[in-house]
């Protein structure tokens, strides 16, 4: 493969959730190109499996889509050094009110490789026990439970479109829900 060379990286916006950079790149044919980069510190998500086999889901409003979505519990890392397993357990409790002592890594995804380095580690939580939701001031989340088959049908009908949720549910279904 030909060589790509970064000549310059310039911080355009230092944001709350991510930073936006513009890179000046020399591409293999010798031309100079400007590429955008969204630098994200990472996130964790969790497929939360109840004792009855149903999965806990969170319904919340998403400003970017201007509507509610149905998703697996997830959230950003507090720092780049935070273990994603710890973040998954924290988000599970914050968003659903359920506590889990151990989680198992299911898969890892990069959300939008063309311009963003956000990586989400997706875990499975089992043997959960009730705790208490700890929502942020701007979070309004309803917790719902569905069977794997119900969720797969919602994916097929385009009712669930969130990529981490689709990946988590379908990977869980393929590996464990036979």
- pLDDT tens digits, residue range 45-99? 999 999 999 999 999 999 888 999 999 999 999 988 999 999 999 999 999 999 9
Domain borders along the chain are 5-39, 41-175
Average pLDDT, the chain: 93
**pLDDT grade for 138, boundaries at 50, 70 and 90:** confident
pLDDT of residue 178 exceeding 80:
no
Each residue's pLDDT tens digit, 19-39: 999 999 999 999 999 999 999
Cα separations in angstroms, 46 against 12, 14, 61, 98, 169: 32, 28, 19, 12, 10
pLDDT of residue 139 exceeding 80:
no
Assigned CATH for 41-175? 3.90.79.10
pLDDT over 90, % of the chain: 83
CA distance 72 to 139: 15
CA distance 33 to 152: 41
Active site residues: 137
| pLDDT value for 134 | 81
| pLDDT value for 132 | 85
Which ranges constitute the DSSP H helices of 38-177? 84-96, 148-156, 163-175
Tokens 């939701």 identify what position?
133
CA distance 87 to 46: 9
């Amino acid at each position: 493969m030909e060589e790509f060379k970064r000549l310059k990286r310039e911080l355009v916006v230092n944001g709350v959730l991510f930073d936006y950079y513009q890179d000046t790149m020399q591409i293999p044919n010798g031309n100079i190109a400007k590429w955008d980069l969204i630098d994200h510190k990472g996130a964790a998500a969790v497929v939360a499996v109840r004792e009855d086999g149903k999965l806990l889901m969170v319904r919340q409003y998403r400003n970017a889509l201007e509507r509610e979505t149905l998703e697996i519990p997830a959230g950003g890392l507090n720092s780049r050094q935070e273990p994603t397993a710890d973040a998954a357990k924290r988000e599970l409790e914050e968003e659903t009110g359920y506590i889990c002592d151990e989680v198992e890594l299911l898969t890892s995804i990069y959300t939008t490789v063309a311009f963003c380095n956000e990586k989400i580690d997706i875990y499975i939580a089992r043997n959960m026990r009730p705790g208490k939701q700890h929502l942020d001031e701007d979070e309004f989340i309803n917790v719902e439970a569905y069977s794997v088959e119900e969720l797969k049908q919602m994916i097929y009908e385009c009712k669930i479109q969130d990529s981490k949720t689709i990946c988590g549910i379908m990977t869980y279904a393929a590996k464990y829900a036979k």
